[in-house]
Amino acid sequence: MTPRLPLTKYHQIYLVLREQLLEGRFVKAMPAEMELAKQFNVGRVTVRHAMEKLVAEGLIVRVAGRGTFPKPPANPLPMIGTAGQTQPTGLAGLMENIVSASLATTVKVLDWRTIEAPEDVALALQIPVRSPVKKAIRLRSSKEGPLSYITTYVPLNLAADMVRRDLAAKPMLQLLSEAGVELGRAQQTISARQADARVAEALDVAIGSALLSVRRRVFDADDKPVQWLEGLYRPDRYEYQLEVSRIGNVDARVSMKDKEARS
């Protein structure tokens, strides 16, 4: 807990637990209130307020006499477009733009390991729960400082030959392409999220700061998911542009904001 932050203790706990739930940290059940109170060094009432906020958001469910359990989101993979119609991103142009933008930034690989796919990741990649996947967490920075915190999941068989230094040098889409994956389309959703303690420290922002949230699922030419990405971006250093040239054709572009160029 950080008393200097302009957030109540229960809200800080809520942000941490929310992030852990979204990562699939609690596969079977949530820890008891007393255990969480000891972990965060707060009173049980404070933990209860945080848990009530998670219940209100539909992230957890409490069962009398049994405990508290993660609740799968009603729509875990929202897609671009109207109901019943998905708008695919122009992947070829997007990949070129991502590779080009990456040349102006540096990457620090915070994590690269094999894990058992939690339920949300397995659903996104259309694989059985607990199947082996490669998880990468990368911090991308521009000359102004940190700008994005990106978590990527790839089926193990597609990332068998990738090593940590590859992730620091090239975007994942480029590595997949070089590994022989013929990229097809992508589905993407853009929203906002609050920074939890870990992400806030990495991006050098206050806990609870608003971040641009991008979730992207990439398919190969056979329409099989090959990547699930969850990216958090500082809105003061990053922007996302969409250009629609005709119905069904979306050209997506990313760019880093340059304060010196704007001044």
- pLDDT tens sequence across 230-241: 999 998 888 766
At 42-56, the pLDDT tens digits run 999 999 999 998 988
**60 residue type, one letter:** I
Domain 91-262 in CATH 3.40.1410.10? The answer is yes
**113-131: buried (b, 16+ CB within 10 Å) or exposed (e) per residue?**
eebebbebbbbbbebeeee
Fold equal for 9-70 and 91-262 = no
CB-neighbour burial class of residue 229 (10 A; exposed 0-12, middle 13-18, buried 19+): buried
Given a cut of 60, whether residue 1 has pLDDT beyond it is no
Give the pLDDT score at 82. Answer: 34
Antiparallel, parallel or unpaired: β 145-155 and 225-233? antiparallel
Least confident of 21-25, 130-134, 170-174: 21-25
Distances (CA, A) of 62 to 12, 19, 51, 82, 239: 21, 19, 10, 33, 39
DSSP 29: -
9-70 belongs to CATH 1.10.10.10: yes
* Domain ranges (residues) in the chain: 9-70, 91-262
Residue appearing with tokens 């219940």: 55
